[in-house]
C-alpha cells in the first residue's frame, strides 16, 4: 500500500504492545552480523587484550589466582560495559552500527535507554561470548524483525537508517509555521522529548497511517505541555513538531555563532 507521498508500505509492519503499527525497516541479518564483527574486532577484543596484558604486567609476582580473577573481571566488564555505555550515550549506535547506518530503538520506535542497553549487553555476553553466537544466530534468523534474545528482553530491535528522507537528519521548518515558531517559548522542552519528536518526524514517511495518527497525537500532546503558546489550530502534529525542532535548532545555531570569535555580540 502506498501513501500520498509515494512511500511504499508493503513491508511487514511491527505491532507494539499498544496495538500501534510501526512500519520501520529492520536491519538485515548480514548487516547486523558485520556491525557486530566490527565492534568485536576493532574495539572489544583489542580492549580485552590490552586489559589482560596490563594486569599481567602490573601483577607480576602476585597470587596467580588473584591475577586471573582480575583479568576475568575486566574481560566481563569490557564485554558488557562497552556496548552498554556506547549505546546509551549514542542512543542506540555502536561503532559498527554507525558505519553501516543502523540504530537500536525501542519496540515503539523510541530511542534506546540505558536499561535497554544494559539488558542487551548482559544477554549478549551469553549469546555471543558463551554460545559463540549460535543462540543469536538462530533467533535472528527465525524472527521476522531479526531480533535476538537480548532484543526480546530489552524490548528493542535494530533498524536501518540508510535511505528514505532521514539521510540529512535535519528537520525543515514548515513555511506557514515560521512566524509562530519565532515567538514560541521552547526553554522548557527537554532533550528526551525533543529527541522523541525528532525520531517521529524523520521517520514520518516510513510509518503506516495508524502509526502516524496515534504516535503524532501522543508526541504532539507531550511537546505541547512544554511549549507555549499552543500551535495554530490548522497545524497538523507533524507540522507542529517540525516547527518546534527547526526553531530549536536555529536558536542553538545562533547561540553557537555568538560564542565564536568575531561572532555577533
pLDDT (tens digit per residue) in 208-256: 888 889 999 999 999 999 999 999 999 999 999 999 999 998 998 888 7
pLDDT value of residue 157:
87
pTM equals 0.54
Nine-digit cell string for 30: 548480514
Q: Give the integer Cα–Cα distance in Å for 254 and 247.
A: 11
Q: Give the integer Cα–Cα distance in Å for 88 and 78.
A: 15
Contact yes or no for 24/105 (Cβ under 8 A): yes
Q: Give the integer Cα–Cα distance in Å for 42 and 82.
A: 12
Question: Average of pLDDT values for 80-107?
Answer: 89
pLDDT value of residue 116:
93
pLDDT (tens digit per residue) in 125-160: 888 878 888 888 888 877 777 889 999 999 998 988
191-202 vs 209-224: helix crossing angle, rounded to 10: 160
Residue 163 scores a pLDDT above 80: no
pLDDT (tens digit per residue) in 183-199: 999 999 998 898 889 88
Most confident of 21-30, 49-58, 65-74, 113-122: 113-122
3-state secondary structure the chain: CECCCCCECCCCCEECCCCCEECCCECCHHHHHHHHHHHHHHHHHHHHHHHHHHHHHHCCCCCHHHHHHHHHHHHHHHHHHHHHHHHHHCCCCCHHHHHHCEEEEECCCCECCHHHHHHHHHHHHHHHHHCCCHHHHHHHHHCCCCCCHHHHHHCEEEEECCCCCCCCCCCCCCHHHHHHHHHCECCCCCHHHHHHHHHHHHCHHHCCHHHHHHHHHHHHHHHHCCCECCCCCCCCHHHHHHHHHHHHHHHHHHHHHHHCCCCCC
Amino acid at each position: 500500500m502506498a501513501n500520498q507521498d509515494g512511500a511504499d508500505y508493503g513491508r511487514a509492519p511491527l505491532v507494539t504492545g499498544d496495538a500501534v503499527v510501526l512500519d520501520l525497516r529492520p536491519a538485515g541479518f548480514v548487516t547486523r552480523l558485520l556491525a557486530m564483527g566490527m565492534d568485536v574486532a576493532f574495539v572489544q577484543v583489542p580492549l580485552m587484550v590490552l586489559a589482560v596484558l596490563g594486569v599481567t604486567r602490573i601483577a607480576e609476582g602476585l597470587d596467580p589466582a588473584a591475577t586471573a580473577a582480575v583479568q576475568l573481571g575486566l574481560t566481563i566488564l569490557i564485554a558488557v560495559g562497552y556496548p552498554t555505555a556506547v549505546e546509551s550515550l549514542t542512543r542506540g549506535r555502536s561503532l559498527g552500527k554507525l558505519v553501516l547506518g543502523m540504530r537500536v530503538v525501542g519496540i515503539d520506535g523510541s530511542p534506546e535507554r540505558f536499561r535497554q542497553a544494559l539488558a542487551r549487553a548482559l544477554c549478549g555476553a551469553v549469546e555471543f561470548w558463551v554460545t559463540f553466537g549460535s543462540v543469536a544466530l538462530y533467533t535472528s534468523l527465525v524472527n521476522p524483525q531479526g531480533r535476538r534474545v537480548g532484543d526480546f528482553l530489552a524490548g528493542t530491535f535494530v533498524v536501518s537508517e540508510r535511505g528514505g528522507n532521514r539521510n540529512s537528519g535535519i528537520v525543515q521548518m514548515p513555511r506557514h509555521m515560521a512566524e509562530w515558531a519565532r515567538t514560541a517559548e521552547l526553554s522548557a522542552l527537554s532533550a528526551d522529548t525533543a529527541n522523541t519528536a525528532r525520531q517521529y518526524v524523520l521517520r514520518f514517511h516510513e510509518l503506516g497511517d495508524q502509526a502516524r495518527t496515534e504516535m503524532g497525537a501522543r508526541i504532539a500532546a507531550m511537546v505541547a505541555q512544554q511549549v507555549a503558546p499552543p500551535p495554530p489550530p490548522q497545524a497538523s502534529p507533524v507540522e507542529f513538531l517540525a516547527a518546534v525542532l527547526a526553531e530549536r535548532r536555529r536558536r542553538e545555531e545562533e547561540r553557537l555563532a555568538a560564542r565564536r570569535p568575531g561572532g555577533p555580540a
